[in-house]
Amino acid sequence: MKTTMVNALNMQGFASKCLHIQSKRRIFGTMSTVAKNFRIDSELKYPEHSGELLDAIEEAKRLEADPKTKRYTDMDEMWADLDK
């Protein structure tokens, strides 16, 4: 069977379409994997901290800013003061 120019062009066109379909499948498969593993920004939320934690943070900031707050360089001294 002789291959004519028309048949060759048809086969080339078919091959390019097949590659195009295969590329689409590969891209779709990749995108599906990305979509499964990707969290949308609207789903991300900052953690809500308890009031007790926020109060403790504020107290620590106040104590740090107050020059009258006792500072420790020795852990044993700190624990001794806590035991009082």
Q: Given pLDDT bands bounded at 50, 70 and 90, which one contains residue 53?
A: very high
Per-residue model confidence (pLDDT) at position 1? 47
Average pLDDT, integer, range 10-18: 55
Tokens of 38: 């990707």
Q: Are 72 and 78 in contact (CB under 8 A)?
A: yes
- pLDDT for 1-10, tens place per residue? 455 555 555 5
Q: Closest Cα partner for 19 from 11, 5, 66?
A: 11
CB contact at 8 A, 63 and 69: yes
